[in-house]
Amino acid sequence: MSEKTIADRTTAGTPEQTGGVQTRTIDVRTPSKDYQVLVGAGVIDELGPLTHAALPKAQKAQIIADSNVAPLYGDAVAASLEEAGLSCSMQVFEAGEQAKKLSTLSDLLEGLAESELSRDDVVVALGGGVAGDMAGLAAALYLRGCAVVQVPTSLLAMVDSSVGGKTAVDLAAGKNLAGAFFQPSLVVADIDCLDTLSPQQFTDSVGEVIKYGVIADPQLFDQLEAHPLSVDSVDPDQLASVIARCIEIKRDVVQKDEREGGIRQILNFGHTIGHAIEAASNFQLGHGSSVAAGMCAIARASAARGWCDQEVAERIVALVAAHGLPTDTATDHQELLSYASHDKKRHGSTVNVVVPTAIGTVEVRKVGFTELLDLIDLGCRVA
Ligand code: GLY
C-alpha cells in the first residue's frame, strides 16, 4: 500500500450493471448527514472514485478490517482508493465479536493518529457488523469526527448495520453499550463479497431480511415465501434487489427518526427476546438466528394475546423455518427475562417491545417486566 497522489477524479464511475446485476443507488437523508448507498456486483472496485466523489477533500484513507476479511478484500480496496489519489494504510484486528471492545477501539484510535489522518480524511470500515460498528465509532471519536465509508461484506451488515449510523463497542455488562450515532458518508455494498460467506453465515443474516418483510413490506414477505433465499439458489440480481429493498425500508425509518426516539424502534422487532437468546448462548448462536427465534417468540405471544391473527404468527414461524433458522429456544425463561430486562433499550422498569399486528405492520408496546415474562412464557417453549 504505497503512498501516492494521482488522479483528479471528481465523478464516481458507478457501473450501472455488472454481470447481469443492476447497481442500485439509495439516497439517505438524515438531519446529520446525506449519503448514498450503492448495491451491486463488483462495486468494490469503484470504491476509490466513489469515495473521492463523496469526499473530495480526503487525501488519506485508513482501512479498518478484521483478520478474516483483510486478506480477502484489503488489497482490492486499497488499490481502488490509491488509484483515485488517496494514500492508504490498513489496520487489522482479530476477527470475532470478542474483539469489539474498548481496548481494540483504543488501538484503532492510536492507529488513526499514527497515520496522521486529518478531519478531511476518511476511515474505511471493511467487513461485517463488528468492523462497521467499531470503525464507525473510531471515526466518530477521532478528532471529534472524521468521515467513514462503510464497505459491508456480510449480508447482515449490508441490510442493517452499515446503514443508519449506529456505531458501538461492547462492554462487560453487555453488547453495544458504548457507542454513538454517526452516519457514514457513503456505503458500498458489493454482493460479490457474499460469495465467500459460508451457507451458515448467509442463512444467519436472512433473519434480518425476514424482519423487514414483517415490519414494513408484505410483498417482500410474499417473495421470500415463494423464493426462500439461500446462498447458492438465489439469482444475483434478485439478491441485489432484496438487499436494496431492505436498505430502502431502513432508510425510510431512519430518515424519520435518526436517534431512535420513536419509529426507529420498529427495527428492533424480534430483538428484545432475540438479544436475550443471543446473550444466553454466550454469542454462540448468530445474531440473525437469535433475532429469528425472537421474532417467532414475540409473534406467538402476540397471537396468544390477540394483538395479531394466529395466521400472522404461523406465517412468520413457517418463513423462518423455511430458511433453516431457529423458531424457538430452550433457554430458561427467567434467564431470558434477566438478559432482556438488562437490555440497553429498557426504560426504567419497562421495555418497549415491537409486536406484529399484520404481515407488514408492527406496533411498539411498553411492557413491565412481569408482562415481559408472560410474553416469554407465551412465546417460548418450556425449557
Ligand atoms: N439495527 C437497528 C437500527 O439500526 O436501528
d(CA 277, CA 289): 9
Predicted confidence band at 9 (pLDDT cuts at 50, 70, 90)? very low
Ligand 1 atom with least separation from CA of 160: 1
126 contacts 96 by C-beta, under 8 angstroms: no
d(CA 210, CA 199): 17
CA 209 to ligand 1 center in whole angstroms: 13
Cα 314 to chain centroid distance, Å, stands at: 26
152 lines ligand 1 (CB under 6 A): no
CA 250 to ligand 1 center in whole angstroms: 8
Spatial strand order in the sheet of 361-368: 346-347, 350-358, 361-368
7 contacts 83 by C-beta, under 8 angstroms: yes
d(CA 129, CA 124): 13
267 lines ligand 1 (CB under 6 A): yes
**Over the stretch 57-79, which tens digit does the pLDDT of each residue have?**
999 999 999 999 999 999 999 99
User: What's the confidence (pLDDT) of residue 14?
Assistant: 54
CA 246 to ligand 1 center in whole angstroms: 12
Task: Say whether 261 sits in a helix, a strand or coil.
Answer: coil
Q: 350 has which bridge partners?
A: 347, 368
Of 176, 268, 323, 333, the catalytic one is 268
Predicted confidence band at 112 (pLDDT cuts at 50, 70, 90)? very high
164 lines ligand 1 (CB under 6 A): yes
Of 24, 166, 245, 315, the catalytic one is 166
Choice between 342 and 221, residue whose per-residue pLDDT is larger: 221
Given a cut of 50, whether residue 13 has pLDDT beyond it is no
Ligand 1 atom with least separation from CA of 265: 5
Q: Is 52 a catalytic residue?
A: no
DSSP 183-224: --SEEEEEGGGGGGS-HHHHHHHHHHHHHHHHHH-HHHHHHH
**Over the stretch 197-207, which tens digit does the pLDDT of each residue have?**
999 999 999 99
Predicted confidence band at 233 (pLDDT cuts at 50, 70, 90)? confident
Of 52, 264, 323, 333, the catalytic one is 264
166 lines ligand 1 (CB under 6 A): yes
Give the predicted TM-score (pTM) of the model: 0.93
- Helices and strands: H and E segment counts in the chain: 13, 14
**Over the stretch 283-327, which tens digit does the pLDDT of each residue have?**
899 999 999 999 999 999 999 999 999 999 999 999 999 999 999
Q: Is 256 a catalytic residue?
A: no
Given a cut of 90, whether residue 82 has pLDDT beyond it is yes
Average pLDDT of the chain?
Answer: 93
pLDDT, average across residues 335-348:
85
User: What's the confidence (pLDDT) of residue 109?
Assistant: 98
240 CB neighbour count, 10 Å cutoff: 25
User: What's the confidence (pLDDT) of residue 211?
Assistant: 98
Atom 3 (ligand 1): residue with closest C-alpha?
A: 267
pLDDT, average across residues 16-26:
87
Atom 2 (ligand 1): residue with closest C-alpha?
A: 267
pLDDT, average across residues 330-358:
91
160 lines ligand 1 (CB under 6 A): yes
pLDDT, average across residues 18-43:
95
Given a cut of 60, whether residue 352 has pLDDT beyond it is yes
pLDDT, average across residues 39-46:
97
255 contacts 29 by C-beta, under 8 angstroms: yes
